[in-house]
Amino acid sequence: MKTYDLRTDLYTGEFAPGSIGCEIGVFFGDNAEDLFRIVQPAKLHLIDPWAPMPMPGYGGDKRESQSSRLNKTRDRLEQQIIQGRVIIHVGPAEVVLPTLQPVFDWIYIDGDHRFKSALRDLYMATNAVVSGGIIAAHDYYPKDDWETGEIGVYEAVQEFISETSWEVSAVAKDSCLLRDGVSV
């Protein structure tokens, strides 16, 4: 298994320039901007409801409205959106992703971090990536103190790899990268 320091190192090492990628869970677009700058994808799809969601922590905010987060994302990626290289989808991943063609070279999951939701997103991603594609997930570490303690990405990945032919092939400080052992 390869080990990287930061998730940005993971992008440099594993995500091919000119690829077609997707980020689930965008927030203010910080990571989306990194993904675009580092990977230089042909197309980057961004999926977020930008609306209060059941997941604690990111579903609502007294200081900044969800629409201001969406606007910030649009502003910082304005040129790429105009060029058609960044496509914004406003809606939850479980609604949006199944409507997209399964063309993704990689999907980076950072949306609803609860165990069942993270597991759902992993399975959905298998239907949306191309053969030989990559699924990555953020907040991949066992811990129980994240805000309300509902983070379950690590456990979801463990269950996912135990039930499928997908394997963790690389890790960074806070992320993991999975490949399907069958198609490698």
Query: Applying CB under 6 A, does 152 fall inside the site for ligand SAM?
Result: no
Judged by beta carbon, residue 93 or residue 170, the one nearer ligand SAM is 93
From candidates 10, 93, 118, 135, binder to ligand SAM by CB under 6 A: 93
Q: Which of 93, 90, 86 is nearest to 69 (CA)?
A: 90
Count the neighbouring beta carbons within 10 Å of the beta carbon of residue 42.
14
Query: Applying CB under 6 A, does 112 fall inside the site for ligand SAM?
Result: yes
The interface region with ligand SAM, picked from 91-99, 123-131, 150-158, 162-170 by CB under 6 A, is: 91-99
- Token duo for residue 108: 């980076």
Query: Applying CB under 6 A, does 137 fall inside the site for ligand SAM?
Result: no
Q: Which of residues 58-87 bind ligand SAM (CB under 6 A)?
A: 58
Contact 157, 178 (CB under 8 A): yes
Classify residue 15 by its DSSP letter. Answer: S
| Close Cβ partners of 122 (under 8 Å, ≥ 6 residues apart) | 109, 135, 137, 156, 157, 160, 166, 178
Separation CA 140–CA 168 (nearest Å): 11
Size of residue set near ligand SAM by CB under 6 A: 19
Q: Which of residues 11-50 bind ligand SAM (CB under 6 A)?
A: 23-27, 30-31, 47-49
The interface region with ligand SAM, picked from 12-20, 53-61, 72-80, 160-168 by CB under 6 A, is: 53-61
